[in-house]
């Protein structure tokens, strides 16, 4: 079964391509490579032992989508393609709304006209804002996200729910990711942040590798056990495999239209300091860091209650934070 993976050359997309292929699907990538490197395709070929079908272009281009749908007999779509830099989204909101939401609408229109109902949408725990109760379940209130990026995820979810309410022939699953980290254990694909990483793990890896002088911990005066923020760090291969489980779940549905939300996290929280200590343990290196000011928009604690995806799909994360940081470190050393 051919599955279109938009943004399939990106961090989560490329790992999902591996998981899809290993589960017997035929992944078809469409990516404009605006935030991905073509070398990812070589990594995928090395891991899978075969070339992955890839179309270069904008997945909001309806002509291109029509061409791919026809040429590849696509039977489902996993939609990763989106801009995701939280800080940039605040200074360039229209770029984010046009890309993240305009592309989603174009994709949905193309899917409806091509008679392709099944979509998995990449959403984010950022829609929970600063949760009043932890762990967060799918029934936890969606709050006004702190960033434009987060709002494009929230509005994207609303667009899909409205399509379901209107009875459009679409069946979508909205996967709310927590914090994806790590890399494929082969060390052949991984996270390739452009410029100075804003996310913690790539910054830790580059600091550990001596590419950055030190990590700044954004605040240690939060109301948490060690004062640093707590997040639910999920191995990117666990996240990739959750998409395979979600696809199988969609294919078993016998309703013509559907929309449902699932948290995809480990259910375990880890603080910034715990992550630093874990990195030091798996790498055998001391990490140079300093405590700095809080970063605006950070929430003190957020981690998942993953019971619903376990109950309904029989999937749960299986890899540890140690494994994720070990794999991320191997990848960092390979790309030196
Ligand atoms: C984690 C913790 C920082 C960098 C964001 C997006 C989310 C998703 C994942 C796309 C926080 C601290 C970080 C540093 C630090 N993105 N930190 N020093 O903010 O939880 O989530 O990325 O889907 O939608 O919001 O992840 O890795 O940026 O930060 O102390 O140099 O690490 O303060 O507490 P975040 P993060």
The Cα–Cα gap between 63 and 38 comes to 23
Which pLDDT tens digit goes with each residue over 28-78? 999 999 999 999 999 999 999 999 999 999 999 999 999 999 999 999 999
Residue at 21 is within a domain: yes
Q: Whose C-alpha lies nearest to ligand 1, atom 13? A: 200
Residues 171, 257 contacting (CB under 8 angstroms): yes
Residues 169, 256 contacting (CB under 8 angstroms): yes
Provide mean pLDDT across the span 193-213: 95
The Cα–Cα gap between 14 and 22 comes to 13
E-strand ranges in 46-145 read 53-56, 74-79, 118-124
Q: If you measure from the C-alpha of residue 120 to the centroid of ligand 1, how many angstroms do you get, rounded to a whole number?
A: 24
Q: If you measure from the C-alpha of residue 193 to the centroid of ligand 1, how many angstroms do you get, rounded to a whole number?
A: 13
Q: If you measure from the C-alpha of residue 297 to the centroid of ligand 1, how many angstroms do you get, rounded to a whole number?
A: 10
Residue 138 lies in domain:
2-182+234-265
Q: Does the pLDDT at position 148 exceed 90?
A: yes
Per-residue model confidence (pLDDT) at position 250: 97
Q: If you measure from the C-alpha of residue 200 to the centroid of ligand 1, how many angstroms do you get, rounded to a whole number?
A: 6
Q: Whose C-alpha lies nearest to ligand 1, atom 14? A: 200
| Active-site residue flag, 149 | yes
The Cα–Cα gap between 149 and 140 comes to 20
Residue at 137 is within a domain: yes
Q: 229 CB under 6 A from ligand 1?
A: yes
Q: Which of 197, 181, 283, 193 is nearest to 237 (CA)?
A: 181
Q: 100 CB under 6 A from ligand 1?
A: no
Phi, psi at 13, each rounded to 5°: -60, -45
Residue at 172 is within a domain: yes
The Cα–Cα gap between 170 and 115 comes to 9
Q: 295 CB under 6 A from ligand 1?
A: yes
Residue at 128 is within a domain: yes
Residue at 291 is within a domain: no
Domain count, the chain: 1
DSSP 99: I
Choose the catalytic residue: 149, 177, 233, 303: 149
Provide mean pLDDT across the span 147-162: 96
Which pLDDT tens digit goes with each residue over 86-129? 889 999 999 999 999 999 999 999 999 999 999 999 999 999 99
Confidence (pTM):
0.97
Residue at 330 is within a domain: no
The CATH number that applies at residue 240 is: 3.40.50.720
Phi, psi at 177, each rounded to 5°: -75, 150
Residue at 229 is within a domain: no
The Cα–Cα gap between 303 and 163 comes to 29
Residue at 192 is within a domain: no
């Amino acid at each position: 079964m051919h599955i279109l993976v938009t943004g399939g050359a990106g961090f989560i997309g490329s790992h999902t391509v591996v998981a899809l292929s290993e589960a017997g699907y035929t992944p078809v990538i469409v990516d404009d490579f605006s935030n991905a490197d073509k070398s990812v395709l070589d990594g995928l070929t090395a891991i899978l032992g075969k070339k992955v079908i890839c179309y270069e272009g904008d997945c909001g281009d309806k002509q291109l989508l029509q061409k791919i749908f026809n040429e590849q007999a696509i039977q489902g779509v996993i939609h990763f393609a989106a801009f995701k830099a939280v800080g940039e989204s605040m200074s360039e909101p229209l770029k984010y709304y046009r890309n993240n939401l305009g592309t989603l609408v174009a994709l949905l229109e193309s899917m409806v006209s091509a008679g392709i109902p099944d979509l998995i949408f990449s959403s984010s725990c950022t829609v929970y804002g600063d949760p009043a109760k932890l762990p967060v379940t799918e029934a936890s209130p969606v709050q006004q996200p702190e960033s434009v990026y987060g709002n494009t995820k929230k509005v994207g979810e609303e667009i899909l729910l409205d399509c379901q309410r209107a009875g459009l022939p679409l069946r979508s699953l909205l996967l709310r990711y927590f914090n994806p980290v790590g890399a494929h254990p082969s060390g052949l694909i991984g996270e390739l942040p452009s410029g100075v990483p804003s996310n913690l793990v790539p910054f830790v890896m580059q600091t550990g590798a001596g590419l950055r002088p030190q990590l700044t911990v954004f605040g240690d005066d939060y109301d948490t056990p060690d004062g640093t923020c707590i997040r639910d760090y999920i191995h990117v291969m666990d996240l990739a495999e959750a998409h395979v489980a979600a696809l199988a779940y969609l294919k078993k549905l016998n309703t013509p239209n559907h929309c449902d939300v699932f948290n995809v996290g480990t259910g375990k929280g880890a603080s910034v300091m715990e992550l630093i200590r874990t990195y030091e343990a798996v790498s055998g290196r001391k990490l140079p860091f300093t405590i700095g000011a809080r970063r605006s928009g950070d929430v003190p604690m957020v981690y998942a209650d993953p019971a619903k995806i376990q109950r309904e799909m029989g999937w749960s994360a299986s890899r540890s934070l140690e494994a994720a940081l070990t794999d991320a470190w191997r990848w960092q050393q390979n790309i030196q």
